Amino acid sequence: MVYLIKSSFLFGVLLFVVALVGMGTVPLCDYQSFNTNISDLDIGFSYHYYNDPYGLSEQDVSEGELHIGYDRLYDSPDFGFDITVSNDMNISTLTLSSFLVTGEGNLRRYFTTDAPYFGIAGVSARSASSYETIGLFVKLGIGYGRFTDVTPLAKAIKIDAYLYKKGSISAHLDQTVLKSLAYEIDNIDTYDSMTALLRSLQQIIEGPSTSELKQLDALDVYEMAQIVEDKDYTRYCGGSINVGIGYEILDPMGRSNDLLATAAFDYAFTTTPQAQFLIKGVFSGTYDFLRTNQIEITACYDYFISNIVNLSSKYSFSRETWDGTATDKHNLKFDLVLTPVEGANITLGFQFGHEPYFLEWSQDVKFTIGISLL
């Protein structure tokens, strides 16, 4: 088991390094979008029931898992906000069931449009099967940093890669042309129709300074439309850090309400349209923060190996310390998704977890096949 975890970790690190140094001649993170508006909703459910035919109740299985995750990030020159909601439930009629529900919202107001200094106000709530009640606290603080949506430039690079591979252009488009394409894609709402936008993109690509190309064919225009209209594809860069003070309105362990010191950071990075790296962390603690505190760290990495193969990985760590006693939780997840044809997908997933009182890491391997017929 230890060998498997180490191998998976090394594989993820190797893939990340390859993505950083192997590709990405165009600096994606240099692109600045006027507004950033990114959202993501993830829902997963599984249930397993088995009745032992020999009447051995210890062999019976009746358990399930439910995960719901929602993230929203908005950023503009004047203000921004982010919302995160997560629900993880393990349901079993034979063993102990558990759940963890968290929600957080923050509002940022930038002091000036020229520098990313901001004031922040936020609220956080959490509930778990091990808590006595719901935990709720509010916070105020200051911070530094911004996020920017670089999806338009990433889509422009994908268009360039397709046209060059197909032979529609004799050389890759230069950075000036790519940024012009990104600007038009970013301002898609200003066009009356997708046809008008595609016509504009075609005129930019067919410019005499970009290549020896005279005219794109219908297949080129169709593929460009597919790339531009892909709403499930997002790439963003940037980061922020903030510190402040908070107040517990409700203590989850039923203790007295306390003033809290808070700190949080987020960082997103990408060098190619295929890759996305994100890490975020949150800390809160009382004045005696070494004895009472909460820490959460999450790192995600997604990589499109090809048009039909996608690899995603996620590691999360949480620590809750009450009266000097710490409880740690680890979760490591890998998903390999194959899409051989449109509407069909094959997923191979690995998940490992460790929580207090576990004698060893839990192991969960899932293989699913799905197809959309209509």
Q: Which amino acid is at 63?
A: E
Range of the domain at 217: 151-228
pLDDT at position 19 is 44
Is the residue at 206 inside a domain?
yes
Please report whether residue 185 resides in a domain: yes
pTM greater than 0.95 (yes/no): no
Which residues, other chains included, contact 372 with Cβ-Cβ below 8 Å and sequence gap of 6+? Answer: 343, 344
Flag whether 55 is in a domain.
Answer: no
Distance CA 327, CA 157 (A): 45
Spatial separation of the C-alpha atoms in residues 183 and 168, rounded to whole Å: 22
Q: What is the four-CA torsion angle of 173, 176, 182, 186, rounded to 10 degrees? A: -160
Residues 328, 301, 226, 216, Cα dihedral to 10°: 170
In this structure, is residue 209 part of a structural domain?
yes
On whether residue 89 sits in a domain, the answer given is no
DSSP bridge partners of 259: 247
Q: Are 274 and 154 in contact (CB under 8 A)?
A: no
Instruction: Report residue 168 as tokens.
Output: 């529609």
- Strand pairing category for 325-338 and 36-50: unpaired
Per-residue pLDDT at 144: 96
Q: Which residues contact 356 (CB under 8 A, 6 or more apart)?
A: 327, 328, 329
Q: What is the DSSP letter of 114?
A: S
Nearest to 222 by CA among 159, 294, 133, 146: 159
Q: What is the dihedral of CA 6, 12, 16, 21, to 10 degrees?
A: 60
Q: For residue 211, what pLDDT is reported? A: 47
Total domains in the chain come to 1
| pLDDT for residue 283 | 92
Instruction: Give, for all 374 residues of the chain, the pLDDT tens digit.
Output: 444 444 444 445 544 444 444 444 567 888 888 888 888 888 877 777 888 788 777 777 888 888 888 989 999 889 999 999 989 888 777 666 788 898 999 999 999 988 899 999 999 998 888 888 888 989 999 999 998 889 999 999 999 999 998 888 888 888 889 999 999 999 888 898 999 999 999 988 887 544 445 578 889 899 999 999 887 788 989 999 999 999 989 888 777 778 889 999 999 999 888 899 999 999 988 888 888 888 999 999 999 888 788 899 999 999 988 788 888 999 999 999 888 877 678 889 998 999 888 888 988 888 888 776 55
The answer to the question of residue 183 being in a domain is: yes
> What pLDDT is recorded for position 18?
43
Question: Is 105 within 8 Å of 123 (Cβ atoms)?
Answer: yes
The two structure tokens encoding residue 171: 């050389």
Determine, yes or no, domain membership for 219: yes
- Radius of gyration (C-alpha) of the chain in whole angstroms: 24
- Let me know if residue 193 belongs to a domain: yes
Q: Residue 110: how many CA atoms within 13 Å on its side-chain side?
A: 19
